Structure 1
Amino acid sequence: MTRLTDDGQKGTQPDMHTPPVVSPQAWETALQQLLVKEKDLTRARDALAAERRRMPWMAVETAYGFEGPAGRESLLDLFDGRRQLIVYRAFFEPGVFGWPDHACRGCSMVADQVAHVAHLNARDTTLVFASRAPQSDIARLKARMGWEMPWYTLTDSFDADFGVDEWHGTNVFYRDGDRVFRTYFVNNRGDEQMGSTWNYLDITPLGRQEVWEDSPEGYPKTPTYKWWNWHDSYVANAMPDEKWVEVSNAGEAVFRNQPASAKP
């Protein structure tokens, strides 16, 4: 396989064993064969998310405290009035590589991947980051890196109690009135895929809350696609936009008419 060197000249990389180059027809055949396995993976991922929504909950009895931009906050406060809370433990504090200019490189990559939180908020879900750095340092870091997610300062044993005192991790909580429950936890390579709206919703107890999902009886569900909006246009408890419903219905009709082999 040839490649271009830094000076634009052709060079070779003899140790790189690349796949064969084939005709368009052979390439399309190979793609369709791979899609069968990819669709199996999608269905398995959906089934795993459905099982995750049926995991038992653990009551949180300790009154944990955090520092935020507005001062002292409780774990309940972090929900910001929503039913679901996702807390990512990011390492930004004295002793972490990069301090005081940067957070941990891995945690920073996670932060760079986070989609606009308005889409999560529209599904009754709040995402926050938490570290042991003071709020003044967190504000400085967020401004430098262009991060906008809420970011709190840990003040007690929350990180140790929830498995994130020595390594990054994502905890998920559910609020029922004033009661808080831990519903899920993921770290290591499971953590590295976080960032998209869908991956975050798939680890919550309520899921994406769309009609196609396999969820326990009575869980909230709305028509697929219809709740989507521009991130600066969500309005609490607003009905779906009629024009968007029309557009998405047309898209779904096209999808339904596709052959089964083209569907997930």
Structure 2
Amino acid sequence: MQHDLPANHPPIVSPEAWREARAAMLIKEKAHVRARDALAAERRRMPWMAIEKDYRFEGPDGPVSLLDLFAGRRQLIVYRAFFEPGVFGWPDHACRGCSMVADQVSNLTHLHQRDTTLVYASRAPQPDIARLKARMGWGQIPWYTITDAFDADFGVDEWHGHNVFIRDGDAIFRTYFIDNRGDEAMGTLWSYLDLTPLGRQEIWEDSPEGYPQDRPYKWWNWHDNYVAEPAVDATWAEISDAGEAAFRDPAAPPKA
């Protein structure tokens, strides 16, 4: 199939002119990145809302609480996906938009290393959820059935969205909520962590004093190697130090 370019496409230029245009755009992109980081820092300082109700869900092994959804970790992100009678695609598919969001979810092992759990929640019964996950290849995503007013209480009864929680022992607090077009960018490790009250937990971040932080790159690992190698590998630390030094070299070509 042949597709013609739009008649009003941008000009075709030389490599030198293209590099100049890219350098000019890079200035704006760096400003955008700094603004995004500043917004995440402000998000980490938002007030928390105490959760007073005992919300209940149904999981593959039976009834569970909101606290159980944390799976022992400190932070929890709950995405409300529309999969239930009345939704377009039922019973073979979930909502097309929610399904695209699920398709974007990266390997959750890295998120777990930042003491954070991601789960999905719908009103479909567990047998239907299990069938859908198997069909669509979403086996890594924990997916629960909403059984009470959780969706209405947290603004996701009529539209999808991500609610973020943190716990102190058994005490649970709501810290953030994002929906609508904000959901479009979700799926990567960094997009999830930037929503959380603890952030990426790296030393370059502007976070309140006392928040957990360590050096960037060093904790990164293969997703199947965190258990076998829980500590930072000395060779990897040396390699990443050298790479970061070259990246920060002011004499080096500009990078995004």
TM-score bracket relative to the smaller structure:
over 0.9
2:26 is matched with: 35
2:123 is matched with: 132
- Determine if the alignment matches structure 1 residue 121 to structure 2 residue 106: no
1:142 is matched with: 133
1:91-149 C-alpha deviation (Å, 9 max, x unpaired) = 00000000000000000000000011101000000000000001111111001110121
Residue identity over aligned pairs, in percent, reads 71
In the alignment, the residues of structure 1 paired with residue 123 and residue 205 of structure 2 have an alpha-carbon distance, to the nearest angstrom, of 37
Give the deviation of 1:77 after TM superposition.
Answer: 0.3
Matched-pair contact (CA < 8 Å) for 1:122–1:236: no
Q: Which runs of 5+ in 2 are unaligned?
A: none
1:227 is matched with: 219
Q: How does 1:77-116 map to 2 (within 5 A)?
A: 77-116=68-107
Query: Bigger shift: 232-241 or 68-77?
Result: 232-241
In the alignment, the residues of structure 2 paired with residue 12 and residue 137 of structure 1 have an alpha-carbon distance, to the nearest angstrom, of 44
1:50-84 C-alpha deviation (Å, 9 max, x unpaired) = 00000000000000000111111100000000000
Q: How does 1:1-264 map to 2 (within 5 A)?
A: 6=1, 12=4, 16-147=7-138, 148-235=140-227, 238-259=230-251, 262=254
Aligned with 1:262: secondary structure?
A: coil
**Residues 96 and 125 of structure 1: CA distance in aligned 2, closer, same or farther (over 3 Å):** same
Give the deviation of 1:247 after TM superposition.
Answer: 1.4
**Residues 196 and 255 of structure 1: CA distance in aligned 2, closer, same or farther (over 3 Å):** same
- Matched AA of 2:178: V
Give the deviation of 1:255 after TM superposition.
Answer: 1.3
Q: Which runs of 5+ in 1 are unaligned?
A: 1-5
Scaled by the length of structure 1, the TM-score of the pair is: 0.93
- Matched AA of 1:181: F
Give the deviation of 1:242 after TM superposition.
Answer: 1.6
Matched-pair contact (CA < 8 Å) for 1:174–1:181: yes
Matched-pair contact (CA < 8 Å) for 1:92–1:104: yes
**Residues 225 and 85 of structure 1: CA distance in aligned 2, closer, same or farther (over 3 Å):** same
In the alignment, the residues of structure 2 paired with residue 85 and residue 236 of structure 1 have an alpha-carbon distance, to the nearest angstrom, of 25
**Residues 93 and 107 of structure 1: CA distance in aligned 2, closer, same or farther (over 3 Å):** same
- Matched AA of 2:151: D
- Matched AA of 1:75: L
- Matched AA of 1:254: A
Task: Tell me how many residue pairs correspond in the alignment.
Answer: 255
Give the deviation of 1:258 after TM superposition.
Answer: 3.6
Scaled by the length of structure 2, the TM-score of the pair is: 0.96
Give the deviation of 1:261 after TM superposition.
Answer: 7.2
In the alignment, the residues of structure 2 paired with residue 154 and residue 100 of structure 1 have an alpha-carbon distance, to the nearest angstrom, of 17
